[in-house]
Amino acid sequence: MKDADVIVSVRQLNKTYKNGFSALKGVDLDIKRGELLALLGPNGAGKTTMIGIITGLVNASSGSVTVDGYDIGRDFRQIRPKIGLVPQELLTDSFETVWATVSFSRGLFGKPANPELIEKILRDLSLWDKRNNKILSLSGGMKRRVLIAKALAHEPVLLFLDEPTAGVDVELRHDMWRMVRKLQENGVTIVLTTHYIEEAEDMADRIAVINQGEIMLIEEKEKLMHQLGKKELHIQLDKALMFIPPELASYQLGLVNEGKTLIYTYDTQQEHGQQLGIASFMKRLDQLKIEFSDLKSKESSLEEIFVNLVREAK
Ligand SMILES: Nc1ncnc2c1ncn2[C@@H]1O[C@H](COP(=O)(O)OP(=O)(O)OP(=O)(O)O)[C@@H](O)[C@H]1O
C-alpha cells in the first residue's frame, strides 16, 4: 500500500493498564483512506482501547500511531481536528441545549461557526425539533444522536464509531447508516466497532477481527467471506436415512430433519481442488442410489466466520 493510501498507520502498539492487564499486544494495522473498516471482536478484545489511543484519550505503553503522517504523540494538535469520535458511553446529563452543545463542539476545534452545517447535521439526525431542548431532557436514543452530531460538527476526515448502534432503535440505525454512506461518499474514512455482525457485513469494505489484544485477521470483506466461508449443500432426500452411510465417511456430513435432509459442508476454497468436491459427492450419492428431490446451497455468514475464528483462538 502506498503511504498516500493510508490514513492511519499503527505499528507494534502495546497497551498495559496500570493494574498490569495487557489490553493490546503488538498491534499492526493500516487504515486505508476513504474505507469503512469494521473492527469486530468479543467483549474486552481491545477495540475501545485501540480507538482510545488513536483518538488521544488513552496513552499507549509502546509502539507508534501516525494519522496522515503525523505522530500521535508528537503532533496531536494537528491530528485532533481531523478526527471525530462517537464514544460508547452516553453524554453525562447537561443543562446545555442540543444546538449549543453541537455548535460549541465545532468551536472547540477552532473551526469558524457554520450554522447552516449544524442545521443540516441536526436535520439529518432528526434532532432539529429538539434543538432547543436541554440534553438532560432527551431520551437515550436522542442523546446518542447528539453524540453523533457532536462528532460531525467539525467535519472530521476520520470518524470512529464505537458501537454506535448498541441499544438504539431501528429508525436511528437507518438514519445512521444513511449518514455514514453519505460521509463515505464525501471521502471520510470510517472505523466502526459493532457487535452486530450483519451491520459489518452490510457496511464494511474491510473487516478486522481483534481478540485478546491481537489482530487475528484483516481482510477485504468480499474476499473474507469467500475465502473463509464454508458452503453448505442441503439435500432433501426422497427416503430418510437412519445414519450416514460409511461410504460417505470422508465427506463432512450431517443429517437433520429426521434423516430427511443431508447437509454437506465444504470449503469454497477446496471447491476447485476437488477430491471431495461437489461433483464427486453427487456421483457417490448416485452410486449409493440415494435419491433426492431438492438441493439448496447456502454460503456461511460473517457471523459464523467470526464465531469460528474467536472459538479457534481459545
Ligand atoms: N482503565 C483500565 N484499567 C484496566 N483494565 C482496563 C481498563 N480499560 C480497559 N481495560 C481492560 O482492557 C480490556 C480491553 O478493553 P476494551 O474496552 O478495549 O475492549 P473492547 O474490545 O472495546 O470491549 P467491548 O466490546 O466490551 O466494548 C478489557 O479486558 C478491559 O477490562
Residue nearest (by alpha carbon) to ligand 1 atom 26: 43
Phi, psi of 61 (to 5 degrees): -85, -40
| The model's pTM | 0.79
Distance of alpha carbon 297 from alpha carbon 293, whole angstroms: 14
Give SS3 for 291: coil
Distance from Cα 55 to the centre of ligand 1, integer Å:
16
Give SS3 for 218: strand
Distance from Cα 22 to the centre of ligand 1, integer Å:
10
Q: Which fold has domain 229-313?
A: Alpha-Beta Plaits (3.30.70)
Closest ligand 1 atom, residue 213 Cα: 14
Closest ligand 1 atom, residue 46 Cα: 18
Per-residue pLDDT, 35: 96
| Mutation choice for ligand 1 from 14, 24, 43, 88, CB with most ligand atoms inside 8 A | 43
Residues enclosing ligand 1, CB less than 6 A?
17, 19, 21, 23, 41, 43-49
CA atoms within 13 A of residue 201's CA, in its CB half-sphere: 14
Closest ligand 1 atom, residue 50 Cα: 18
Domain ranges of the chain: 3-225, 229-313
Give the E-state strand segments of 116-259 in sequence order. 158-162, 189-193, 206-211, 214-220, 230-237, 253-256
- The radius of gyration computed from the CA coordinates of the chain, to the nearest angstrom, equals 24
Q: What is the pLDDT along the chain (314 residues), one digit of tens a residue?
A: 556 699 999 999 999 999 999 999 999 999 999 999 999 988 889 999 999 999 999 999 999 999 999 999 899 889 999 999 998 877 666 889 999 999 999 998 889 999 999 999 999 888 999 999 999 999 888 888 899 999 999 999 999 999 887 777 888 888 888 889 989 999 999 999 988 877 888 889 999 999 999 999 899 988 877 766 677 889 999 999 999 999 998 888 999 999 999 999 887 665 554 445 777 888 889 999 999 998 888 776 677 777 777 776 66
Per-residue pLDDT, 229: 64
Distance from Cα 146 to the centre of ligand 1, integer Å:
24
Name residue, grid cell 485532533.
Answer: 80
| Mutation choice for ligand 1 from 13, 49, 216, CB with most ligand atoms inside 8 A | 49
Phi, psi of 187 (to 5 degrees): 95, 5
Phi-psi region of 282 (alpha: psi -120 to 50; beta: other; left: phi over 0): alpha
CATH of the domain spanning 3-225: 3.40.50.300
Distance from Cα 50 to the centre of ligand 1, integer Å:
10
Per-residue burial over 8-27, b = 16 or more CB atoms within 10 Å of its CB, e = otherwise: bbbeebbbeeeeeeebbeeb
User: By C-alpha distance, which of 205, 178, 220 is closest to 37?
Assistant: 205
Distance from Cα 53 to the centre of ligand 1, integer Å:
12
Residue 265 pairs in a beta bridge with: 232
